């Protein structure tokens, strides 16, 4: 049988997760209302990243324990959210829009689904961090903490460097109409997505050091990120676009044939 302390901790976690979910959905639906009225997608990604930042900080405050492990984890999520949010927002402003939403933003029902899916993405991906921040017990730092933080660091740097390299490549007028195959992009066709998957896997790993029982189901976070990027959006869409744009270019076909889709040496 569960002790009273265990039952109270379970209730505390459930309450925090429900509270986070309500805030998450409320923010995305409010964002949809404004975006639908203006028929714009320009702050879609910024709203998603901003919600990650808000919930990471708020769950730390709601948990009110502020253990070192919690502060490191929250700081890592905040760092990722600020960098990616500003990067995507700047990119969409410079491009004048996001081609993913060319038709969608004129269809309120479909546009609403996109915003709702973003709410699901935020909540599921942030699940290990929210559970960690609700934890009332503290444990000494161990191998899983350091391994998780190391994995996050590797993934964060991989994503940031890949984004930077592609931005510099596209900014060069001599590269107009060309595809990038240099730097990290010479060993993986999607190094930024590899970094994204690794960093969330790292955050789950570090969080799991204080988890028990059903809380380990939050491993769905990195699994969800992996499936989303490799099976739904991300890679499938970009691969189709690449073939449509460069499919008749022998150099591109050679690049696809000889460069790993995601993880060099494996896939």
CA 106 to chain centre: 26
Q: What are 130's two structure tokens?
A: 């929210």
SS (H, E, C) 110-169: HHHHHHHHHHHHHHHHHHHHHHHHHCCCCCCCCHHHHHHHHHHHHHHHHHHHHHHHHHHH
Write the pLDDT tens digit of every residue in 93-126: 998 888 888 889 999 999 999 999 999 999 999 9
- Among 7, 48, 17, CA closest to 31: 48
Cα–Cα distance between 45 and 51 in angstroms, integer? 10
Q: Which of 23, 16, 88, 96 is nearest to 54 (CA)?
A: 23
Count of helices and strands (H, E) across the chain: 9, 0
Q: How far apart are CA 230 and CA 209, in angstroms?
A: 27
Query: How much is the pLDDT for 101?
Result: 87
Return the closest-CA partner of residue 73 out of 13, 144, 18: 144
Measured between alpha carbons, how far is 164 from 169 in angstroms, rounded to an integer? 9
Looking at the DSSP assignment, which residues form a beta bridge with residue 188?
260
For residue 188, the 8-state DSSP code is B
pLDDT score, position 99:
82
CA gap 198, 140 in Å, rounded:
24
What pLDDT is recorded for position 97?
86
159, 192 in Cβ contact below 8 A?
yes
Long-range contacts formed by 8-11: CB under 8 A, 24+ apart: 9/135, 9/136, 9/137
The alpha helices in the chain, defined as continuous H runs, are 4-38, 44-63, 68-95, 108-134, 143-171, 191-207, 220-227, 235-246, 250-258
What is this structure's pTM?
A: 0.93
Question: Under 8 Å CB-to-CB from 3, ≥6 apart: which residues?
Answer: none
Calculate the alpha carbon distances from 249 to 151, 188, 237 in Å: 36, 19, 19
Helix (H, G, I), strand (E, B) or coil at 13: helix
**Positions of the chain with pLDDT lower than 50, given as ranges:** 1-2
């Amino acid at each position: 049988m569960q002790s009273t302390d265990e039952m109270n901790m379970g209730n505390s976690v459930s309450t925090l997760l429900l509270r986070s979910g309500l805030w998450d959905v409320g923010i995305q639906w409010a964002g949809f209302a404004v975006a639908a009225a203006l028929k714009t997608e320009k702050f879609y990604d910024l709203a998603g990243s901003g919600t990650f930042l808000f919930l990471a900080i708020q769950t730390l405050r709601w948990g009110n324990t502020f253990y070192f492990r919690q502060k490191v984890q929250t700081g890592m999520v905040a760092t990722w959210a600020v960098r990616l949010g500003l990067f995507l927002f700047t990119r969409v402003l410079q491009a004048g829009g996001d081609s993913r939403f060319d038709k969608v933003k004129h269809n309120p029902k479909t546009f609403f689904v996109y915003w709702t899916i973003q709410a699901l993405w935020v909540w599921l991906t942030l699940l290990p961090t929210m559970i960690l921040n609700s934890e009332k017990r503290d444990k000494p730092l161990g191998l899983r903490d350091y391994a998780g933080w190391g994995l996050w660091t590797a993934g964060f740097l991989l994503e940031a460097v890949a984004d930077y390299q592609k931005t510099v490549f596209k900014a060069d007028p001599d590269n107009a109409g060309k595809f990038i195959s240099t730097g990290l992009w010479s060993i993986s066709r999607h190094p930024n997505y590899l970094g994204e998957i690794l960093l969330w896997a790292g955050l789950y790993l570090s969080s799991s050091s204080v988890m028990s029982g059903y809380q380990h189901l939050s491993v769905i976070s990195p699994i969800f990120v992996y499936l989303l990027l490799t099976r739904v959006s991300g890679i499938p869409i970009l691969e189709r676009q690449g073939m449509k744009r460069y499919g008749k270019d022998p150099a591109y076909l050679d690049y696809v044939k000889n460069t790993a889709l995601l993880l060099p040496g494996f896939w």
